[in-house]
């Protein structure tokens, strides 16, 4: 099948597997490194420099993959960090409220509630393929984080799982990595066409950006 002829080797070792729990851990260093030799070669792009100036860590959030879309200086106190988590959850509540998000609530909820985790969508995503199949860029990886947060806070199953210790830890560090991850998607929605049940990972990424843009503005 043409789709699979990308010339990119499937990575065998588990070093680049990032589990959800790791995303919640504090830290400024990237969770993994993007290796140029594993990535899709683009003609005209010169060698990627691998030196992050030390002062960038004060201004940018590089804790996902070593890159950052926006300056995001760290808040100073734990109280401020806790406030950001609270504001994220209240923003999510608004996204799931038919009054404040009447245009997108239905497709959003359908996409959050109906994924069967088959990962058919993965091979449709140019970003995932071009990165050398890095786990965090899988279309459903980003959605799964939001899904877990949604389940934990808005569904009975999620609350029961939380009692069993199977939940995701919603920390400031998770939120800021998810912020970056929301921008590792071109919103092309190619993955939607390959999903056997029509889950819209592009829509989830876009709704996340909506949430984060409110978080930054207010
Ligand atoms: S989004 Fe669709 S294709 Fe992707 S893992 Fe979920 S059900 Fe499978
Ligand atoms: S919408 Fe995003 S996740 Fe889906 S294929 Fe496009 S870039 Fe990949």
Distance 115 CA to ligand 2 centre (A): 15
Q: How far apart are CA 167 and CA 158, in angstroms?
A: 7
Query: Cβ atoms within 10 A of the Cβ of 107, count?
Result: 16
Which numbered atom of ligand 2 lies nearest the CA of 190? 5
Q: How far apart are CA 147 and CA 70, in angstroms?
A: 24
The pTM of the full predicted model, rounded to 2 decimals, is: 0.87
Which numbered atom of ligand 1 lies nearest the CA of 139? 4
- The H or E element spanning position 159 is helix 156-163
- Find out whether the beta carbon of 213 lies less than 6 Å from any atom of ligand 2: no
Average pLDDT over residues 60-66: 90
Q: Which ligand places an atom closest to the C-alpha of 129?
A: 2
pLDDT at 7 over 50: no
Place of tokens 């683009």: 42
Q: How confident is the model at residue 50 (pLDDT cuts 50, 70, 90)?
A: low
Q: How confident is the model at residue 56 (pLDDT cuts 50, 70, 90)?
A: confident
- Tens of pLDDT along 153-199? 888 877 777 777 767 889 999 999 999 999 999 999 999 999 999 99
Residue nearest to atom 3 of ligand 1 (CA): 195
- Find out whether the beta carbon of 97 lies less than 6 Å from any atom of ligand 2: no
Higher pLDDT, 42 or 94: 94
Q: How far apart are CA 142 and CA 199, in angstroms?
A: 13
Task: Return mean pLDDT, the chain.
Answer: 85
Distance 203 CA to ligand 2 centre (A): 9
pLDDT at 2 over 70: no
Place of tokens 């969770």: 31
- Tens of pLDDT along 106-158? 999 999 999 999 999 999 999 999 999 999 999 999 999 999 999 888 888 77
* C-alpha distance across the termini of the chain, in Å: 48
Show the ligand 1 pocket: residues with CB < 6 angstroms: 115-121, 140, 195, 197, 199, 201
pLDDT at 9: 39
Place of tokens 């806070």: 153
Residue nearest to atom 6 of ligand 2 (CA): 188
CB 179 within 8 A of CB 209: no
Question: What percent of the chain shows pLDDT beyond 90?
Answer: 56
pLDDT at 14: 45
Q: How far apart are CA 63 and CA 28, in angstroms?
A: 5
Which numbered atom of ligand 1 lies nearest the CA of 201? 1
- Find out whether the beta carbon of 202 lies less than 6 Å from any atom of ligand 2: yes
Tokens of 116: 């069967």
The DSSP bridge partners found for residue 60 are 71
Distance 53 CA to ligand 1 centre (A): 38
- Fold for domain 81-217? Fumarate Reductase Iron-sulfur Protein; Chain B, domain 2 (1.10.1060)
CB 123 within 8 A of CB 3: yes
Length of the chain: 218
* Cα angle 133-134-140, degrees, rounded to a multiple of 5: 90
Higher pLDDT, 115 or 36: 115
Q: How confident is the model at residue 5 (pLDDT cuts 50, 70, 90)?
A: very low
Q: How far apart are CA 24 and CA 38, in angstroms?
A: 26
- Find out whether the beta carbon of 193 lies less than 6 Å from any atom of ligand 2: no
């Amino acid at each position: 099948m043409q789709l699979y002829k990308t010339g990119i080797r499937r990575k065998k070792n588990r070093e680049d597997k990032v589990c959800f729990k790791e995303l919640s851990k504090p830290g400024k260093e990237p969770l993994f490194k993007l290796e140029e030799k594993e990535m899709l070669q683009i003609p005209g792009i010169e060698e990627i420099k691998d030196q992050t100036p030390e002062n960038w860590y004060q201004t940018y959030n590089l804790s996902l993959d070593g890159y950052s879309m926006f300056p995001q200086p760290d808040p100073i106190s734990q109280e401020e960090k806790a406030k950001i988590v609270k504001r994220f959850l209240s923003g999510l509540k608004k996204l799931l409220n038919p009054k404040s998000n009447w245009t997108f609530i239905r497709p959003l909820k359908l996409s959050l509630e109906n994924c069967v985790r088959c990962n058919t969508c993965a091979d449709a995503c140019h970003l995932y393929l071009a990165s050398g199949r890095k786990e965090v860029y899988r279309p459903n990886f980003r959605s799964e984080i939001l899904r877990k947060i949604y389940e934990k806070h808005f569904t009975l199953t999620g609350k029961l799982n939380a009692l069993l210790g199977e939940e995701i830890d919603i920390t400031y560090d998770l939120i800021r990595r998810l912020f970056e991850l929301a921008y590792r998607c071109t919103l092309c929605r190619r993955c939607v066409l390959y999903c056997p049940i029509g889950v819209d990972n592009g829509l989830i990424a876009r709704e996340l950006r909506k949430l984060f843009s409110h978080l930054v503005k207010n």
